[in-house]
Amino acid sequence: MKKIIVLLVLVSFQLYGQTTYEQLNDLYKQSKFFDASKLVEEFSSSNLKDFKSQVLCGDIFYDLEDYDKALKYYLLAEKIDKREYEIQYKLGRTYHRLGQDGKAFEYLDDAIDEVKKKKNIEAHIELAKAKIRDKNISEAEIWINRAKDKNKKEPIVYITLGDLYFSQGVYELAKNNYLEALQLDDKNVLARSNLAESYYWLANRESDSDLANELFKKAIIEYDLVAELDPFNAKAFFQTGKVLFWASRFEDAAPKLNRAVSLNPENKLARWLLAQSLSNLNRCDSAAQHLEWVSNNIDSVKVKAQLLLARCFSANGESMKAVAQYEKIKQDTTLDVIDMKRFGNAAFLSEDTVKAVSIFEETIAMNPSSSCDLMLLLGQLYYVKKDYNNAINKFVQRIETPECEDGKEKAIYFAGLSSLFYANEEGIATEEKTLRLDKAAKYFGQAIALDSTDLRSMVFMGDVYAAKNDLEAAGAQYELVIEKALQDPEKFSQQLRQSFAKICGMYLENKKFDGAIKYGTLWSENQPDSEYGPLYVAIAYQNKYVNSQNDADKKGACDWYKKVLDVNPKNATAKKNRDALGC
């Protein structure tokens, strides 16, 4: 009974081993290398004495370009049969990939010796490929020709010769050899894939745009054929996506690269190109997982991947996510000026003004000469917050930065405006107020000198005189603005309205009623849609009537209140005063 149980165990183990080999080999033949790799460790341990099983394990990792693991399993196979030709050339090619040339050529030479009188050419081809990688073109050509002498009907001979020319940038000859390989086997995936890449580089070198486009189309057609021939060929999808990425065709590149990554999630470059494609398409949610993977697995582009994600969030209007991402990056590295600006803008758009201001200040300190726009923006932020002192400092910094000449007049204008408003704040000391008004006058004077049509600065210059109680100078300034604005009343409608309001108010406040009547009437004539021109005239006439009891003044007041109500029947002041006069 005991013997029967042992026998059953052995039979079940053999069946299990055979089935697993078939499964693994099927996955390998279907180019499902990543899926196959997940089964390798357990399978190898269960078949430590089976030569072909260990070779298969090595082949899987070799095609995944994980040469260290490939070597591990090839060495296990060598322990089983070190004289086997297959393991010799496979160890040779793997050692060469790992940069161990001495061992590589020793194994490849031994493999060639094993088949001197046979038609096997794999070792010759691997030796030629090694020489191509070493840029030893003459020796590579020798070994290709020796392989050709042994078996000239093998497509790999012409593929390798094409690779030789491709490595030298002779894409036309490379293309011809890949085509010759396809004459022997039109379903050869490697030949077609390499042909596609040759077409791509021929297109890049072609000066004739029509011909270049034709070659590019041929490249894409060939890559699509590769995908049809081998739908699980991760390399084919990767190559297609890579070519499309280089051509900035991100919309087309993304699905190809996504397929490549799904077939081989460990392909770092495919993942990186996919992440960049999705970022360029502003598909931040899709890009995020790949950028995160890249930042965790590819040290050389870690920061760039994190930055791409932050920029993607910023461009996509996802400000809070952008802020969080930039804060994460800033823990590990220093952001450049452009990204600091993006960081600050994201903070501002997420309504964290305090953070935005802090970031902008840091950015300006990093490089004032490239922060002209930022100094103006930050000054305006301070201005909006009524932090006039900091606003003035920032505008002045921009004015005094030599690289910030363009748009300087705007900074000067805002420096004057901030100085004026600072001077008019409650509780400011008399000496400080005078100093700030003098500064405001200086900046408005500079703005007007730079642009004689800057009527808004002229209006505020009048406000400076008014704040200094120089009513004559203020009146003259407002009159000057009105005179200039009336030359193009549509263009300067705002400045015209402001100046009329200011001069009328000033005359009314100082009981110069005839002046208020004069400019209120002029205002009504030039801006008849405004109720305030006739309102100033009416109030001025009413005040005159109170002093003179002259019926003409009363009639004037009544007539002008009627005009106010014609423009705005709901004007409460006009109604109340008209009723009080008994009009």
Q: Average pLDDT over the chain, rounded to whole?
A: 91
Structure token pair of residue 307: 């930055």
Answer whether residue 8 shows pLDDT above 70. Answer: no
Contact between residue 35 and residue 232 where contact means Cβ atoms under 8 Å apart: no
Q: How far apart are CA 92 and CA 87, in angstroms?
A: 8
Which residues span the domain enclosing 33?
Answer: 1-81
Q: How far apart are CA 485 and CA 321, in angstroms?
A: 48
For the chain, state the CA radius of gyration. Answer: 41
Contact between residue 567 and residue 575 where contact means Cβ atoms under 8 Å apart: no
DSSP state of 301: G
**pLDDT band with cut points at 50, 70 and 90 for residue 125:** very high
**pLDDT band with cut points at 50, 70 and 90 for residue 220:** confident
Write down the pLDDT at residue 12: 36
Structure token pair of residue 439: 């500064």
Contact between residue 281 and residue 249 where contact means Cβ atoms under 8 Å apart: no
Write down the pLDDT at residue 324: 92
* CA 203 distance to own-chain centroid: 28
Q: Does residue 73 fall inside a structural domain?
A: yes
Write down the pLDDT at residue 20: 78
Buried/exposed code over 320-349 (b: 16+ C-beta within 10 A; e: otherwise): ebbbebbeebbeeeebeeebbbbbbbbbbb
Q: How far apart are CA 164 and CA 132, in angstroms?
A: 6
Q: Does residue 3 fall inside a structural domain?
A: yes
Better-predicted residue by pLDDT, 7 or 461 = 461
Q: How far apart are CA 298 and CA 302, in angstroms?
A: 6
Start-to-end CA distance of the chain, whole Å, equals 129
Question: At 410, is the secondary structure helix, strand, or coil?
Answer: helix
Q: What is the pLDDT of residues 538-556, one digit of tens each?
A: 999 999 999 989 999 999 9
Structure token pair of residue 337: 């000026």
Average pLDDT over residues 205-217: 92
Contact between residue 175 and residue 181 where contact means Cβ atoms under 8 Å apart: no
Q: How far apart are CA 69 and CA 75, in angstroms?
A: 10
Write down the pLDDT at residue 246: 86
Q: Got the DSSP string for 116-170?
A: TTS---HHHHHHHHHHHHTT-HHHHHHHHHHHHHH-TT-HHHHHHHHHHHHHTT-
Average pLDDT over residues 388-408: 94
At residue 166, φ and ψ (nearest 5 deg) are -60, -40
Average pLDDT over residues 57-64: 95
Structural domain count, the chain: 1
Q: Does residue 458 fall inside a structural domain?
A: no
461: Cβ–Cβ under 8 A, 6 or more apart, which residues? 441, 444, 445, 448, 477
Q: Does residue 56 fall inside a structural domain?
A: yes
Answer whether residue 19 shows pLDDT above 60. Answer: no
**pLDDT band with cut points at 50, 70 and 90 for residue 119:** confident
Average pLDDT over residues 49-56: 96
Average pLDDT over residues 333-346: 92
Q: Does residue 415 fall inside a structural domain?
A: no
Q: Does residue 18 fall inside a structural domain?
A: yes
Q: Got the DSSP string for 157-225?
A: HHHHHHHHHHHTT-HHHHHHHHHHHHHH-TT-HHHHHHHHHHHHHHHHH-SSHHHHHHHHHHHHHHHHH
Average pLDDT over residues 102-118: 92
Q: What is the pLDDT of residues 234-261, one digit of tens each?
A: 888 888 898 889 888 999 999 999 999 9
Q: How far apart are CA 451 and CA 409, in angstroms?
A: 8
Q: What is the pLDDT of residues 413-423, one digit of tens each?
A: 999 999 999 99
* Residue 545 identity: Y
Write down the pLDDT at residue 15: 40
Q: How far apart are CA 424 and CA 539, in angstroms?
A: 27
Q: What is the pLDDT of residues 424-473, one digit of tens each?
A: 998 899 999 999 999 999 999 999 999 999 999 999 999 999 999 999 99
The CATH number that applies at residue 23 is: 1.25.40.10
Q: What is the pLDDT of residues 309-326, one digit of tens each?
A: 899 888 888 899 999 999
DSSP state of 405: -
Q: Does residue 38 fall inside a structural domain?
A: yes
Write down the pLDDT at residue 43: 95
385: Cβ–Cβ under 8 A, 6 or more apart, which residues? 353
DSSP state of 532: H
Write down the pLDDT at residue 18: 47
Write 163-171 long-range contacts (CB < 8 A, 24+): 163/129, 163/132, 163/194, 164/128, 164/132, 164/137, 164/140, 166/194, 166/197, 166/198, 166/201, 167/132, 167/135, 167/137, 168/137, 169/201, 171/198, 171/201, 171/202, 171/205
Q: What is the pLDDT of residues 147-183, one digit of tens each?
A: 999 999 999 999 999 999 999 999 999 999 999 999 9
348: Cβ–Cβ under 8 A, 6 or more apart, which residues? 356, 381
Write down the pLDDT at residue 5: 36
Write down the pLDDT at residue 11: 35
Q: Does residue 46 fall inside a structural domain?
A: yes
Write down the pLDDT at residue 296: 87
The whole-model pTM stands at 0.60
Contact between residue 53 and residue 14 where contact means Cβ atoms under 8 Å apart: no
Write 447-453 long-range contacts (CB < 8 A, 24+): 447/409, 447/412, 447/413, 447/416, 450/408, 450/409, 450/412, 451/409, 453/484
> 5-19, 232-246, 463-477, 485-499 — which is least confidently predicted?
5-19
**pLDDT band with cut points at 50, 70 and 90 for residue 482:** very high
Q: How far apart are CA 129 and CA 148, in angstroms?
A: 14
With vertex at residue 263, the alpha carbon angle to CA 257 and CA 267, rounded to the nearest 5 degrees, is 65
